[in-house]
Amino acid sequence: MKTSARVQTCGKLYLAGEYAVLTTGQPAIIKAIPIYMTAEIQAASAYRLTSDMFEHSASLEPDPDYALIQETVAVMNDYLQVLGYQLQPFSLKISGKMERDGKKFGIGSSGSVVILTIKAMAALYELDLEPKLLFKLASYVLLKRGDNGSMGDLACIAFEDLIYYRSFDRELVRKRMGKVYLQQLLAEDWGFEIRSIKPCLAMDFLVGWTKQPAISKDLVNQVKSAISESFLTGSRTQVDALEKALLAGDKLAIQSSMEKASQLLETLSPAIYTDRLKVLKEAAEGLNCVAKSSGAGGGDCGIALSFDVASSNQLIQAWQEAGIELLYRERMGHDEPES
């Protein structure tokens, strides 16, 4: 047991497979974004939770603002007790709210906070949690709270990489929660698949922030009835094609699969492509780039892959003129396979 520890978690953004991934067994490609939340944990005489999202702190007494963190602490305390640890109260301080001027970036702060809390507690107890177990524990917390997401955000944040994620049957796991102990459930095969993708092509990954906050949960509720078999087949085809193209470093196939994934979202619901996201996407036309909305849409961020510097600069300029801020930029991938 340590007396204190400091841990971080990243953000995430979808490249492809949004909405489809809500259906069991469907894939998505999600990228870790190195914009971090930080937690400082310290053994203390009583529980004290503090987040820079709120003006006040909390103990473990029910507090709606801290409910997600409190639930995470409760699940971890259960888990630690099963493992035979003596519980130790602590103070936990969370910062890095992934927003500016009160407007969130939409890169996964609620998923990030759950993983962050688990990581902080694991660090305090010197418990080595591999990413897969971290993902299952975090999913357990969100399922317990009735979350309607695919858990793709958690998979990406737990693995901190560009990942291919195939979703599991969350309803089935939720039902198992009432039947078996946490320990057993964690040992079971939930049927998901998570693997890293190492792109074999150097390119610019650009994130455009619309500064229009969107609530994924509401969009999912609004859009989910439109998800059809043909949308699912189309999305899966493009996600699989995109993974292959990234691995092969096939620029044209990367562009084409992202473009088709974007079109699938555009026809799924008019709620996804807001005016600003349309501009964000259309700005890539005629350039050596491809751009699309990312995640639930309705605001938040869009992404682009750009294959030469001049195109990147032109795209960023066009975004700026439309009030879209370049939130993050990364040179990703390699021209040669990594040995």
**Residues binding Mg ion (CB under 5 A):** 106, 216, 295-296, 300
Angle at 42 between CA 37 and CA 44, to 5 degrees: 140
Question: Which residue, 9, 8, 14, 217, is CA-closest to 112?
Answer: 9
**Torsion angle, alpha carbons of 99, 103, 105, 111, to 10:** 70
Candidates 14, 190, 209, 231: give the one binding ligand PMV (CB under 6 A): 14
Candidates 22, 32, 113, 116: give the one binding ligand PMV (CB under 6 A): 22
Count of all residues that appear for the chain in the document: 339
Token pair 């040179």 is found at 331
From residue 162, how far is each of 1, 80, 172 by CA, in Å? 32, 30, 27
Q: Name the minimum Å distance from CB 82 to ligand PMV.
A: 29
149 binds, among ligand PMV, Mg ion, none (CB under 5 to 8 A by kind): ligand PMV
Q: Name the minimum Å distance from CB 81 to Mg ion.
A: 35
Residue 27, strand partner residues: 166
37 binds, among Mg ion, ligand PMV, none (CB under 5 to 8 A by kind): none
Measured from the CB atom, is 201 or 219 closer to Mg ion? Answer: 219
Task: Please list every residue from 90 through 109 that binds ligand PMV, using CB under 6 A.
Answer: 106, 108
Q: 201 with 303: CB under 8 angstroms?
A: no
Stretch that binds ligand PMV, among 31-39, 48-56, 149-157, 192-200 (CB under 6 A): 149-157
Round to whole Å and give the CA distance between 15 and 163. Answer: 10
The pattern of x and - marking residues 215 through 234 that bind ligand PMV according to CB under 6 A reads -x---x--------------
Measured from the CB atom, is 22 or 114 closer to ligand PMV? Answer: 22
Round to whole Å and give the CA distance between 76 and 80. Answer: 6
Q: Name the minimum Å distance from CB 249 to ligand PMV.
A: 26
- Decide: is 299 part of the binding site for ligand PMV (CB under 6 A): no
**Residue 295 φ then ψ, to 5°:** 80, -145
From residue 255, how far is each of 129, 279, 307, 339 by CA, in Å? 37, 18, 10, 26
204 binds, among Mg ion, ligand PMV, none (CB under 5 to 8 A by kind): none
**Residue 100 φ then ψ, to 5°:** -140, 140
Measured from the CB atom, is 2 or 217 closer to Mg ion? Answer: 217
Measured from the CB atom, is 53 or 127 closer to ligand PMV? Answer: 53
Report residue 315 CA to chain centroid gap.
25
Candidates 11, 96, 152, 208: give the one binding ligand PMV (CB under 6 A): 152
Question: Closest residue to ligand PMV, Cβ-based?
Answer: 295
Site of interaction with ligand PMV (CB under 6 A): 14, 18-19, 21-22, 106, 108, 149-150, 152-153, 216, 220, 295-296, 300
